[in-house]
């Protein structure tokens, strides 16, 4: 049997979780490889990058899509179980679960809206109307969106102390704070209400930036930003960064526009995008170099 695509995998994947128990990704892959009667060669077949087996990759994507639609939930790292919504889907005895059928769930749209990048391919175009370059770009965009959503999920499962360290790592990678050691020593030392730490604006320390880091699910409103702004005034500080795993209310976003103190608000969406751009918590998997004809080379004088 040929290796099934990830959409074909989704229904038997969810059915395996129907018992309501916690299951690991490893045991689920083994179960599914038996369901599809894959040979040893098919189980070991690698992606063109040579970094991961094709079947493991497709099982991983099946899990991602089911999770983003709220049909299964992560219980701990590498483990998951079916949700009430997933049980209801199975009770309808569907012939197949596809990306199209998952679009009925609001969570699916919310999850894939984690990171907003420019779209180059219209959803209403047929495959034969899309150039290879556009198709590659669209696939890249989708990978980025999935990665951003997974990043935020992992961050929310970590401790508050780890989140503060992550914020420092990200700011240092962006170019603030000089060395990681100097930046790390600053966190948690101010002890002032509304301030989690300080970091140098540059390697020479010509100015100081104050940090507030919130690992929240709820929207951060104007009162929290006012509290942070007041703490900055108490320190006679001119610059601050408020970073959160959630988002900011419109009132909070409008409030910072009229402050004399410069406060940058970074929500979970922007944080995930910055982490990807600066390789914080992620690592390159594969690189594809696209080439074209050098027309100048073929010009004859």
CATH number, domain of 193, equals 3.40.1340.10
pLDDT digits (tens, 9 = 90+) for 230-251: 988 888 888 999 999 999 999 9
CA atoms within 13 A on the CB side of 205: 6
Q: Are residues 86 and 130 in the same domain?
A: yes
Q: Are residues 191 and 150 in the same domain?
A: no
Q: Please check whether residue 236 lies inside any domain of the structure.
A: yes
Structural domain including 60 reads 6-156
Give the pLDDT of residue 110. 67
Q: Are residues 25 and 166 in the same domain?
A: no
Rounded distance between C-alpha atoms, residue 214 and residue 135, angstroms? 37
Give the pLDDT of residue 112. 57
Q: Please check whether residue 222 lies inside any domain of the structure.
A: yes
Q: Are residues 142 and 226 in the same domain?
A: no
Rounded distance between C-alpha atoms, residue 269 and residue 122, angstroms? 23
Q: Please check whether residue 290 lies inside any domain of the structure.
A: no
**Per-residue pLDDT averaged across 172-194, rounded?**
62
Q: Are residues 148 and 176 in the same domain?
A: no
Q: Please check whether residue 70 lies inside any domain of the structure.
A: yes
**Helix axis angle, 250-257 to 222-234, nearest 10°:** 30
Give the pLDDT of residue 189. 46
Q: Write down which residue in 117, 132, 156 finishes a domain.
A: 156
Q: Are residues 137 and 194 in the same domain?
A: no
Give the pLDDT of residue 3. 93
Q: Are residues 99 and 146 in the same domain?
A: yes
Name the average pLDDT for the chain.
Answer: 84
Band the pLDDT of 291: cuts 50, 70, 90: confident
**CA distances in angstroms from 3 to 82, 190, 222, 283, 290, listed in the order given:** 24, 56, 52, 27, 27
Give the pLDDT of residue 52. 86
Band the pLDDT of 37: cuts 50, 70, 90: very high
Q: Are residues 21 and 102 in the same domain?
A: yes
Band the pLDDT of 226: cuts 50, 70, 90: very high
Give the pLDDT of residue 56. 93
Out of 17-26, 73-82, 106-115, pick the least confident. 106-115
Q: Are residues 211 and 89 in the same domain?
A: no
Q: Are residues 22 and 114 in the same domain?
A: yes
Give the pLDDT of residue 30. 96
Phi and psi torsions of 257, nearest 5°? -65, -25
Q: Please check whether residue 285 lies inside any domain of the structure.
A: no
Give the pLDDT of residue 161. 83
Is the model's pLDDT at 7 over the cut of 60?
Answer: yes
How is 191-229 classified by DSSP, letter by letter?
A: --TT--EEEESSTT-SSEEEEEEE--SSPB-HHHHHHHH
**Per-residue pLDDT averaged across 170-186, rounded?**
72
Q: Give, in degrees to the nearest 5, the angle at Cα 214 between 82 and 180.
A: 110
Q: Write down which residue in 116, 134, 156 finishes a domain.
A: 156
Domains identified in the chain, total number: 2
Q: Please check whether residue 45 lies inside any domain of the structure.
A: yes
**Per-residue pLDDT averaged across 152-174, rounded?**
87
Rounded distance between C-alpha atoms, residue 114 and residue 269, angstroms? 5
Q: Please check whether residue 32 lies inside any domain of the structure.
A: yes
pLDDT digits (tens, 9 = 90+) for 92-138: 999 999 989 998 998 776 665 544 444 444 455 555 556 677 778 77
**Is the pLDDT higher at 115 or at 252?**
252
Out of 3-12, 105-114, 141-150, 249-258, pick the least confident. 105-114
Name the pTM for this structure: 0.68
Q: Are residues 139 and 169 in the same domain?
A: no
Q: Write down which residue in 95, 124, 156 finishes a domain.
A: 156
Q: Are residues 150 and 165 in the same domain?
A: no
Q: Please check whether residue 117 lies inside any domain of the structure.
A: yes
């Amino acid at each position: 049997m040929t290796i099934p695509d990830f959409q074909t995998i989704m229904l038997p994947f969810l059915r395996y979780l129907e018992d309501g128990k916690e299951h690991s990704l490893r045991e689920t892959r083994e179960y599914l490889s038996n369901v599809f009667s894959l040979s040893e060669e098919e189980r070991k077949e690698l992606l063109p990058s040579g970094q991961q087996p094709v079947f493991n990759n497709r099982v991983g994507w099946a899990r991602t899509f089911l999770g983003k639609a709220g049909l299964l939930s992560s219980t701990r790292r590498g483990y998951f179980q079916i949700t009430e919504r997933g049980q209801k889907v199975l009770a309808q005895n569907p012939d197949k679960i596809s990306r199209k059928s998952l679009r009925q769930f609001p969570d699916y749209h919310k999850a894939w809206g984690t990171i907003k990048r420019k779209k180059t391919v219209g959803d209403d175009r047929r495959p034969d109307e899309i150039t290879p370059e556009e198709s590659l770009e669209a696939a890249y965009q989708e990978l980025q969106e999935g990665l951003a959503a997974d990043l935020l999920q992992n961050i929310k499962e970590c401790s508050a102390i780890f989140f503060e360290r992550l914020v420092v790592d990200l700011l240092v990678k962006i170019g603030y704070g000089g060395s990681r050691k100097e930046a790390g020593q600053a966190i948690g030392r101010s002890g002032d209400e509304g301030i989690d730490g300080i970091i140098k604006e540059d390697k020479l320390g010509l100015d100081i930036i104050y940090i507030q880091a919130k690992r929240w699910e709820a929207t951060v409103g104007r009162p929290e930003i006012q509290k942070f702004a007041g703490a900055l005034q108490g320190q006679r500080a001119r610059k601050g960064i408020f970073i959160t795993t959630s988002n900011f209310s419109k009132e909070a976003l409008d409030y910072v526009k009229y402050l004399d103190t410069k406060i940058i608000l970074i929500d979970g969406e922007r944080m995930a995008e910055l982490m990807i751009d600066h390789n914080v918590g992620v690592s390159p998997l594969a690189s594809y170099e696209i080439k074209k004809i050098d027309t100048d080379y073929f010009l004859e004088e």
